[in-house]
């Protein structure tokens, strides 16, 4: 049986408590959850790499999962999709349709991709995006790089709208609460400082030249759960920083599939688990310093990560369930930053052009791939030298979801948490668009390195981009006022009698 001291420790771990004003009327609070299927067909392009690849089998379904919260005066929607990413034109179209069908404001809709490398073709490039380019660039984009499937993309758009509309229509009076679990064994920073003085991504398990990680991981498992007023668990939003790259085999939501299974195992098969990824640009499931010969990819790895993160989510949900209450206020803000792209030098472009016009089978594969990326980047910079980078804050009472559209390095996520006044701050990556990797300035410095810092059509923003995004998100959070953290009602003054079995004296014979 849990002691009162243990319960107090749990409360402290959940953050500083904000007590609602005595006697204040409880606001109307409703919550709704819904999900839809977006499983791609076998044979469609498989994203996750810089070249073409195709799905050959099915492991588990890919989904859209949506949560809508309503306090009467405001509504917000948080959507998680099993996808590598989603592009801004698609998001803008989805938001317009959601507003038309159920009235939720565009800035109050957050759509975050799990970054599953085994999901459907929502990018890299959109259909028609480079139709005005040279024949060579069009060939490199459409024939040599993963491109969104137009019919699949239309289906994803349709099902995201349907999930949000259904969640909104299904709202019911609810109680909710947020908290944090903690796991330090499911995810690891993949970048390391090496003995030669430089930084390397995935130097290899057991590499004796590894000195130390070049960045942190974030052990917090953030959870926001909701229950109906009669105690039925409705669903939750889970936030954790780890690439979805375990690859259980075939089309898959990756380890998020096992996250859902774990939570549903205790909370019920109808529970909707909305996953929004933390800042995991340099964090994966691979432990390069593990001294044992273990599998770090495949089914066992997906089950390991999803099971551990799911277990922490469950521990948090059962800890906060009896404290859950109506959450307010609800609010949302967004801002579009204008951030310049790094352009490749003309001599670099000229050399890349020479390489890509050679037979790929007769050139080093890595050299050819990055040459292709330079040629495409050169075309992109010429027509789009400035990137639109949306940052967004969605508040649900004492919790705030702060998002950016990047594969954002983990250190920035920790900086955002440290700079936020909210007791529950959930940094969300790859939301509302995809602008590629955004490393720290140190990673882009003379002793940095690793493929995340490589100049490509995918990752190319100015070195200060990460800092600007973090400052903007902290600023958005600063403009919002955290709501009260719900607590159970206080115990009335003791007027009863001790348990009769408990007050009997000892007996020796």
> In the numeric block, which tokens belong to residue 459?
């990752």
pLDDT at 388 over 80: yes
pLDDT score of 27: 59
Helix or strand (DSSP H, E) at 330: strand 330-340
Residue 281 to residue 87: CA distance in whole angstroms: 17
Is residue 352 domain-resident? no
pLDDT at 18 over 90: no
The pLDDT tens digits of the residues spanning 217-236 come to 999 999 999 999 999 999 99
Residue 17 to residue 307: CA distance in whole angstroms: 29
pTM of the model: 0.93
- Name 193's Cβ contacts closer than 8 Å, sequence gap at least 6: 199, 210, 211, 212, 213, 214, 447
Is residue 349 domain-resident? no
Domain containing 90 equals: 29-343+385-478
- Find tokens 């929607």 and name the residue: 77
pLDDT at 209 over 80: yes
pLDDT at 392 over 50: yes
Residue 308 to residue 88: CA distance in whole angstroms: 32
pLDDT at 6 over 90: no
* Range 112-122 average pLDDT: 97
Contact 143, 115 (CB under 8 A): no
pLDDT score of 50: 87
Is residue 16 domain-resident? no
Residue 481 to residue 348: CA distance in whole angstroms: 49
pLDDT score of 22: 34
Percent of the chain predicted with pLDDT > 90: 91
Is residue 13 domain-resident? no
Residue 433 to residue 469: CA distance in whole angstroms: 14
Contact 301, 47 (CB under 8 A): no
pLDDT score of 361: 83
Neighbours of 318 (CB within 10 A): 13
pLDDT at 24 over 80: no
Residue 191 to residue 283: CA distance in whole angstroms: 8
The pLDDT tens digits of the residues spanning 25-77 come to 555 999 999 999 999 999 999 998 888 999 999 999 999 999 999 999 999 99
pLDDT at 318 over 80: yes
Residue 335 to residue 330: CA distance in whole angstroms: 18
Q: Which residue has the higher pLDDT, 172 or 20?
A: 172
pLDDT at 17 over 90: no
Is residue 10 domain-resident? no
Residue 393 to residue 310: CA distance in whole angstroms: 25
Mean pLDDT of the chain: 94
Is residue 363 domain-resident? no
Cβ burial of 336 (10 Å; 0-12, 13-18, 19+) is: middle
Contact 200, 152 (CB under 8 A): no
**CA proximity to 69, closest of 311, 391, 373, 398:** 398
**CA proximity to 397, closest of 263, 237, 261, 243:** 237
pLDDT score of 26: 52
Is residue 490 domain-resident? no
pLDDT at 463 over 60: yes
Is residue 339 domain-resident? yes
The pLDDT tens digits of the residues spanning 235-292 come to 999 999 999 999 999 999 999 999 999 999 999 999 999 999 999 999 999 999 999 9
The pLDDT tens digits of the residues spanning 76-110 come to 999 999 999 999 999 999 999 999 999 999 999 99
Q: How many domains does the chain have?
A: 1
> In the numeric block, which tokens belong to residue 58?
């099915």
- Name 274's Cβ contacts closer than 8 Å, sequence gap at least 6: 33, 65, 66, 67, 78, 79, 80, 235, 236, 237, 238
- Side-chain-side CA neighbours of residue 261 (13 Å): 15
DSSP 58: B
The pLDDT tens digits of the residues spanning 341-353 come to 999 999 999 999 9
pLDDT score of 70: 98
Neighbours of 436 (CB within 10 A): 20
């Amino acid at each position: 049986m849990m002691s009162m001291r243990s319960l107090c420790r749990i409360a402290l771990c959940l953050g500083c408590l904000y007590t609602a004003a005595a006697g204040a009327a409880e606001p109307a609070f409703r919550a709704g959850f819904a999900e839809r299927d977006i499983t791609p067909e076998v044979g469609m392009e498989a994203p996750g790499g810089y070249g073409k690849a195709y799905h050959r089998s099915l492991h588990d379904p890919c989904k859209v999962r949506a949560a809508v919260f309503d306090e009467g005066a405001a509504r917000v929607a948080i959507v998680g999709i099993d996808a590598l990413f989603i592009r801004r034109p698609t998001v803008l179209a989805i938001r317009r349709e959601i507003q038309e069908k159920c009235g939720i404001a565009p800035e109050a809709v957050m759509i975050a991709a799990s970054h599953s490398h085994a999901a459907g073709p929502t990018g890299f490039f959109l259909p028609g995006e480079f139709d005005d380019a040279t024949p060579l660039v069009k060939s490199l984009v459409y024939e040599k790089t993963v491109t969104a499937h137009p019919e699949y993309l239309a289906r994803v758009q349709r099902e995201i709208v349907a999930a949000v509309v259904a969640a909104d229509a299904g709202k019911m009076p609810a109680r909710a609460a947020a908290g944090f679990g903690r796991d330090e064994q499911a995810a690891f920073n993949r970048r390391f400082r090496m003995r030669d003085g430089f930084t390397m991504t995935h130097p290899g398990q057991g590499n004796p030249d590894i000195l130390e990680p070049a960045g942190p991981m974030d052990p917090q498992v953030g959870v926001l759960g909701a229950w109906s007023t009669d105690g039925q668990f409705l669903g939750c939003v889970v936030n954790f920083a780890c690439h979805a790259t375990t690859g259980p085999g075939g089309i898959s939501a990756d380890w998020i599939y096992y996250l859902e299974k774990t939570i549903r195992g205790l909370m019920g098969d109808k529970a909707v688990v909305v996953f929004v990824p933390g800042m995991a640009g340099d964090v994966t499931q691979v432990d390069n310093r593990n001294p044992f010969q273990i599998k770090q990819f495949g089914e066992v790895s997906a089950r390991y990560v999803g099971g551990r993160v799911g277990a922490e989510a469950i521990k948090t949900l059962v800890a906060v369930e009896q404290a859950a209450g109506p959450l307010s206020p609800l609010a949302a803000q967004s801002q579009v930053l204008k951030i310049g792209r790094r352009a490749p030098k003309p001599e670099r472009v000229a050399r890349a052009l020479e390489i890509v016009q050679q037979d790929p089978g007769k050139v080093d594969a890595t050299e050819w791939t990055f040459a292709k990326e330079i040629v495409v980047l050169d075309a992109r910079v010429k027509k789009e030298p400035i990137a639109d980078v949306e940052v967004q804050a969605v508040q649900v009472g004492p919790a705030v979801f702060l998002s950016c559209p990047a594969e954002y390095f983990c250190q920035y996520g920790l900086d955002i948490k440290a700079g936020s006044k909210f007791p529950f701050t959930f940094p969300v990556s790859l939301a509302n668009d995809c602008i590629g990797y955004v490393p720290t300035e140190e990673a882009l410095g003379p002793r940095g390195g690793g493929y995340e810092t490589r100049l490509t059509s995918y990752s190319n923003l100015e070195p200060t981009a990460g800092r600007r995004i973090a400052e903007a998100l902290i600023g958005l959070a600063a403009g919002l006022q955290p709501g009260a953290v719900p607590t159970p009602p206080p115990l009335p003054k003791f007027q009863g009698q001790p348990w009769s079995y408990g007050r009997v004296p000892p007996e020796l014979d």
